[in-house]
């Protein structure tokens, strides 16, 4: 069983004009929700410790959605799939030893 962080009330959502790029939306979301990166790092470390040779950020996002489902409020996805590639890059910046675990492709949108 994976250790879960202390309970929290909600994921902080951010509303942007339609012309704001993915990177700007991600940075605003991440600034309000730093726990997401910590949770992804905890899950990645757990997988690495268990000997996984490859990890999918999609799998980690779905695990977070499951574990923290009560934190999702409203009509929007609290964990935007467009942020997956950005979170992988942050994980690898903090933990370069995990680079072999993830496949990282070039970003297609800003």
Least confident span in 57-61, 65-69, 103-107: 65-69
- Calculate the alpha carbon distances from 3 to 15, 39, 85 in Å: 31, 10, 24
Query: Which tens digits make up the pLDDT trace of 19-64?
Result: 788 899 899 889 888 989 999 999 999 999 999 999 999 999 999 8
Average pLDDT score over the chain? 82
pLDDT-derived band at 66 (thresholds 50, 70, 90) equals confident
64's CB contacts (< 8 A; 6+ apart) are 36, 39, 40, 43, 79
Per residue in 85-101, pLDDT (tens digit) is 999 999 999 999 999 99
- Say what the pTM is: 0.77
Residues ≥6 apart with Cβ < 8 Å to 45 = 95
73 confidence band (pLDDT: 50, 70, 90): low
**Residue 80 has which token pair?**
């935007």
């Amino acid at each position: 069983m994976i250790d879960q962080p202390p309970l929290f009330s909600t994921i902080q959502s951010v509303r942007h004009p339609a012309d704001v790029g993915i990177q700007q939306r991600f940075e605003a979301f991440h600034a309000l929700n730093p726990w997401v990166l910590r949770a992804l790092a905890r899950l990645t470390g757990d997988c690495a410790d268990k000997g996984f040779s490859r990890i999918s950020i999609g799998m980690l996002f779905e695990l977070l959605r499951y574990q923290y489902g009560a934190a999702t409020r409203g009509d929007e996805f609290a964990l935007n799939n467009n942020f997956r590639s950005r979170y992988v890059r942050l994980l690898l910046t903090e933990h370069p030893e995990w680079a072999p675990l993830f496949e990282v492709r070039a970003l297609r949108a800003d």
